[in-house]
Structure 1
């Protein structure tokens, strides 16, 4: 699977949850582009966003390696898939998990379900890539939510991560993604979205 990919992480921004999440998803679905567009949404908004924008690919922001049973508060992969999720982010800097957690999740995820593993640095990207996700994203945690892009702060992390991923994995359709930002302040918190953009 080739081409460019943009994953828009809705996070829990006030302007990207509930009815606003549905509106944003419709806007994304209406864009005439050859770029693959993905909305990464809250578990609370998953079903509504899938219904609101049928042509848009929708991912979870997180999943847990649990099955049916006594797992209060955990995010069950099979339920997410039944509700229309076609992929997930995992290990985002704002929701870190252990390597064991990630490995168990990868064992549970079926073929065709997309996984984007988020890494803080080259070392973590290499470890995650070895477990076979389709995508690896890299963004140092100190840049999350800031004004500086990854490529501006540390261009070497992009090429270094791409090389590290290629060394350990043939599974990644796109060897790496890097965090980037589109900040168009129109009031506090308004239109502040984080994107995951193709490295090329």
Structure 2
């Protein structure tokens, strides 16, 4: 059963990893919820498993995702993350195949199928245009294209920006309508603006927000830049 998941373009993903949990994670989620409504930008908020219920109850506009799940069914499987449990806790989707939690194509295909069965949207990471095209064949809801070399430590250069068009082309040769998020190496609102202007449907940040001197302020700057860059792109299309 493929779920009826809808996300507007542009959108933004905030991945907490293990930087925040509990009350601090909920506070950031509430602020993200406000920014989602203020700027008209859909926000995916990837929380710790233990915070999914707290975050989902405290917010109304952001899309709460789990950071991973396993393609298991109710029954045996100590330590596994059950898709049904994520759904019951309030998650609407799941992040899969992150560079810090890689999956084989076989397990990834099983995971996407299980997510579909329970009604969880899938945001699947790809480290290259080739992997992105291969993943597109599995029909996830969205693809997150990011270079492992940039995650948490890199900074984007001109070559990385040029890769956006190449990756988009490779994926859309397989699935024309696939929403594509380009991430990694996002340090500030300028990076966000440039990535959206370069053709991304979305972008996102973890360390750029979490390590900022004022995380709430940086998050707002990034969301505002998403909206501004998208508006500029759409205006240019109208003039063509």
Q: TM-score, normalised by structure 2?
A: 0.72
Task: Specify the alignment match of 2:237 in structure 1.
Answer: none
- Which of 28, 31, 35 in structure 2 is aligned with 1:27? 31
Q: Is the 8 A contact 1:134 1:171 kept in 2?
A: no
Give the paired residue count. Answer: 193
1:177 equivalent in alignment to 2:184: no
1:44 equivalent in alignment to 2:50: yes
More strand by share: 1
Task: Specify the alignment match of 2:133 in structure 1.
Answer: 126
1:139 equivalent in alignment to 2:146: yes
RMSD between superposed Cα atoms in Å = 2.7
Distance 2:158 2:80 in 1: 36
Q: Is the 8 A contact 2:43 2:63 kept in 1?
A: yes
Task: Specify the alignment match of 2:71 in structure 1.
Answer: 65
Task: Specify the alignment match of 1:148 in structure 2.
Answer: 155
Q: TM-score, normalised by structure 1?
A: 0.85
Distance 2:57 2:115 in 1: 23
Distance 1:124 1:164 in 2: 9
5+ long unaligned stretches in structure 1 = none
Structure showing greater Rg: 2
More helix by share: 2
Distance 1:8 1:22 in 2: 13
